[in-house]
Amino acid sequence: MRNQDDSWRLTLAISGVHTLGSAKQENSGYEGAWSSRENMGIFNNQYFRNIIAKGWSPELKIGGNPDKNAWKRIDAGVDPNHKEMMLNTDLCFVY
């Protein structure tokens, strides 16, 4: 059985991975990156800055599934060739 410290370590590890990678449709049902094209693959705090500094709007029914929702970037500077996204759990860090 995991204790509370283990849960926080796991949460931290998953958040750290979000600074590096992206979600793939075939793996999770979601598609997009948590960082800009320039920051992907770099272990930095850009993921956390993006949660606060960029504009996000709900994206409902991902892949037609009413139980899969995410957040898409909608502010100025959106790269039409690089989808940036957040999950509810990402935005819950701040709000």
* pLDDT bracket for residue 50 (50, 70, 90): very high
Residues 55, 71: contact at Cβ < 8 Å? no
∠ at Cα 59 (58, 61), nearest 5°?
130
Task: Considering only residues 76 and 15, tell me which one the structure prediction assigns the higher pLDDT.
Answer: 76
- In the chain, the domains with their CATH numbers are 4-92 (1.10.420.10)
Digit-coded pLDDT (tens) for 15-47: 777 788 899 999 999 999 999 999 988 888 899
The yes-or-no verdict on residue 1 having pLDDT over 60 is: no
Residues 40, 20: contact at Cβ < 8 Å? yes
In the block, residue with structure tokens 């060739």: 81
Residues 56, 72: contact at Cβ < 8 Å? yes
